[in-house]
Structure 1
Amino acid sequence: MKALGTLGTTVALALAVASAAAAAAAAAATPKDPPVTLDTHVDIPFGYMREARFDAGKPSVLQVDLDKMERGGLNAAFFIIYVEQGPLTPAGYAHAVAQAQQKYDDIALMLRTYPDRIRLATTPGQLRANRAAGKLSAMIGIENGYSLGHDLNNLDAAYARGARYVGLAHMGHNDLCTSSTPMAELGDPPLSDAGISDFGRSVVKRANQLGIMVDISHSSDACVREVLSISSAPVIASHSSSRALLNHPRNLPDDLLRAVAAKGGVIQAVALKGFLKLDPGRDLAEKALQAQVAKQAGDAAFDSERHAYLPAYVDGMRRIDAAFPPATLDDYVVHIRHLVEVAGIDHVGIASDFNGGGGIAGWTDATQTRNVTAALRQHGFSDDDIAKLWGGNLMRVWDEVTRRADARHGTG
């Protein structure tokens, strides 16, 4: 009986070893998530957290909410303080500042309401700590320096509220610099050699002092060149793709990709259809739908903040997607590959522009975040490369910008 018992024990051990080996093989065959998945550009609508449909802690109409982040494996996102370009007047500035304050308040409300799920990160170290604790991270970025209201003190106030990058421009020239897309309805002249203004220079220098990353997305080429010459720290393009692959002024040409990399910065490839795939028929169909939806709502012009979530617009976009297939993950990774070939693997990252027009076939919202990782693997990127693209590079730049600011003030 003792011999049989020993045999039974031996067999059991062998089965246990085989089972453990099988489990290890299965685990090895299942690709791991990157250490951090960080999206540098997620817009929020006016009414964020204050309207039930925009409650980020519950199932929502948003492309990014907490449930979608958790299910899709998106750990961290820069939520954006965006205001539309308006008149360069005291009234215009006051309105822009008030709109920005509302969005800061809305992000703060999300953090107060769901502290067990998401936390603010104002340093890369805090992001890493949140990740280790199993929490999501919210960071804050500014899109359109117009919301500073032509007052440098408002940049300090933005830093105090958690802003860690400042985008100088949006669509239409402002008081900081010229835009890559002048707006005739705002009275903008066509693109010229004009670049950054004196106020814009003061914003770049103060951002360097505070430890705020300077964002060149949406800025004109002339402005980008001047920013690169005056910034004492690396800069970022928070959501831009390749102009060599698609000749859109919002994309960056190869010489500027190299210049950003030479400065130590990073270009965050953006998953926005119109910057990845040229489709004039789709463009016309979208403009017609926008005009129709705005008219039905009783408004003179389409406003994405007001109209993009209406059922008529959502249904219309589904029909347009069927008739004019949008850009795909493969199209997106082709842009990432080009950016890497030109700027280097250490100088490229990932941005969705969700809730602001972003979204492509295969990455329509945050639940499909792992599809991006899978597509990168399929295109030959290693796990180390993917870790850099998904947040490592941006966090390196953020660390460097913070270090230089601390050193300047003797606190590093």
Structure 2
Amino acid sequence: MRKANDLQERILSFDAHIDLPLEYGSGGMEADRDGRTQFDLVKAARGRLSGAALTIWAWPEFWIGPNAPHRPTPGFVEAARHEQEARYRIITGIARDYPERAGIAYSPADFRRLAHEGKFAIVISMLNAYPLGDEVSRLDDWAARGMRIFGFNYVANNTWSDSSRPMPFYGDSPDEHGGLSELGRQAVRRLNDLGVVIDVSQMSSSALEQVTDLSRAPIIASHSGIRGLVDIQRNLTDRELRLIQKTGGVVHIAGFSSYLRPFSKETLAKVNAMRTGFGLLDVENLSQASMPADPVFSIWPEKRFGEYASQLYAILETDPRAGLKEFGDAIDYAVKKIGIDHVGISSDFNDGGGVIGWENVGDARNVTAELIQRGYSDEDIAKLWGGNFLRVWEQVQNASRQSHDDITTSPSQETPTQRSTTQ
């Protein structure tokens, strides 16, 4: 722990995915107090976490309970956009209200500067294209507002891309678009042009592969697990790990218990007993156990689906949690498969993330201690904790500038003044 404390003081550490509840900033959830959420500036300082991707995400129709709302309608898109705006105000409000303690990082240089000034570096990320509707041009608007990471999917497909977790209840089918739709393909190209890092966590296998084929810059998975250790659709296969590696990208292993540790036999037995009560067959794999994804849900009434989902998640929450050992095992696996330069760290805090020993951002040095015990060098730990991501981010922005140069100038027309302006 002494070595971990010392190392955490010296390295740049980055958590690739943290969510904030819509109530963030209210009583007990203030950014400047050691409150009841897993992230605040007090905990970040205690853990010596340099910065994080704070995520704007929205999916208002995915509510669980007997009174769950009706299936998606156009009105839900507008509601999701309001939710995006609310989270954007929360995230940017941290930097506005506490300028001596935090700032927005618009580039890797910003991140390093803020960290060296002792301020928490906020990288604005966005998850789920659903609220953007059919308007790829909204990517330009959000990039202008500071978004630097974009992930296409959350739970359920959208008009841009298929999700790793399609929802039959919302009319989804696996590989509905065959991966990316034409909108999704346009978005990959535009994100490259804008210098925004593409995040493939939560995409279907086909969509992920197509992104790796189309992208002119490295990509990341901001919060994923390893299918070779826990066989659920949400986790990445060895092939998907290698596809991300081939772009020069980074796979950030998430500290999310059910992605790191298979459900126990006792929990699976409880799930199957509950399913029997709903007239369903026993689950055949972990993916079915972890998500309400049976095709028959497409014809179920809302109330019945809500009751099923509520009971399912109540059972899953009782399963024994993973700890730092399982988290370290997942990092070891990824490093052995794709190399130390292509693996990173994320928590998924405030949306189910957290393992025994890493309960909030204040425990970041415990992760470092686990890596030290496993024999990782100081240099390798620095890569895992943020060095790899900063390298990718730099490459993405450089590729964007090169693309801009190619479009706006040619070798015969370019002047020294033009070159200095575009760079």
Partner AA of 1:198 in structure 2: E
Provide the alpha-carbon RMSD of the alignment: 2.8
Deviation at 1:257, TM superposition (A): 0.6
Match of 2:409 in 1: none
Match of 1:3 in 2: none
In structure 2, what is the Cα distance between the partners aligned to 1:98 and 1:30? 41
2:58 is the counterpart of 1:63: no
Deviations 1:224-269 (A, max 9, x none): 0111111111111000121011101111111111111111011000
Q: Given the alignment, which residue of 393, 400, 404 partners 1:405?
A: 400
Match of 2:101 in 1: 117
2:352 is the counterpart of 1:357: yes
Distance 1:37 1:284, change over 3 A: farther
Matched residue pairs, number?
Answer: 364
Match of 1:14 in 2: none
Aligned residues of 1:85 and 1:171 also touching (Cα < 8 A): no
Deviations 1:285-317 (A, max 9, x none): 8999xxxxxxxxxxx959x9xx9xxxxx9xx99
TM-score after normalising by structure 2: 0.80
In structure 2, what is the Cα distance between the partners aligned to 1:173 and 1:202? 17
2:78 is the counterpart of 1:94: yes
In structure 1, what is the Cα distance between the partners aligned to 2:325 and 2:174? 34
2:406 is the counterpart of 1:392: no
Match of 1:373 in 2: 368
Aligned residues of 1:85 and 1:146 also touching (Cα < 8 A): no
Distance 1:74 1:28, change over 3 A: closer
In structure 2, what is the Cα distance between the partners aligned to 1:158 and 1:104? 10
Distance 1:29 1:400, change over 3 A: closer
Match of 1:143 in 2: 127
Q: Given the alignment, which residue of 167, 184, 187 partners 1:200?
A: 184
Aligned residues of 1:104 and 1:161 also touching (Cα < 8 A): no
Distance 1:90 1:60, change over 3 A: same
Match of 2:203 in 1: 219
Match of 1:344 in 2: 339
More displaced stretch, 239-248 vs 351-360: 239-248
Distance 1:341 1:69, change over 3 A: same
Match of 2:220 in 1: 236
4+ residue runs of structure 1 moved beyond 3 angstroms? 27-31, 85-90, 190-193, 280-288
Match of 2:419 in 1: none
In structure 1, what is the Cα distance between the partners aligned to 2:268 and 2:113? 43
Distance 1:174 1:117, change over 3 A: same
In structure 1, what is the Cα distance between the partners aligned to 2:4 and 2:33? 33
Deviations 1:131-167 (A, max 9, x none): 1111111111111111223212211111122111110
Distance 1:283 1:137, change over 3 A: farther
Match of 1:6 in 2: none
In structure 1, what is the Cα distance between the partners aligned to 2:214 and 2:395? 17
Aligned residues of 1:85 and 1:144 also touching (Cα < 8 A): no
Larger Cα-atom Rg: 1
In structure 1, what is the Cα distance between the partners aligned to 2:151 and 2:255? 18
Partner AA of 1:139 in structure 2: V
Match of 2:12 in 1: 36
In structure 2, what is the Cα distance between the partners aligned to 1:55 and 1:111? 13
Alignment of 1:133-172 (within 5 A): 133-172=117-156
Partner AA of 1:387 in structure 2: A
Deviation at 1:107, TM superposition (A): 1.2
Deviation at 1:389, TM superposition (A): 0.2
Deviations 1:53-79 (A, max 9, x none): 321112221101110000111110110
Which runs of 5 or more residues in structure 2 are unaligned? 62-70, 275-304, 406-421
Distance 1:364 1:259, change over 3 A: same
Which runs of 5 or more residues in structure 1 are unaligned? 1-26, 289-299, 308-312
Greater relative contact order, per chain length (Cα 8 Å cut-off, separation 6+): 2
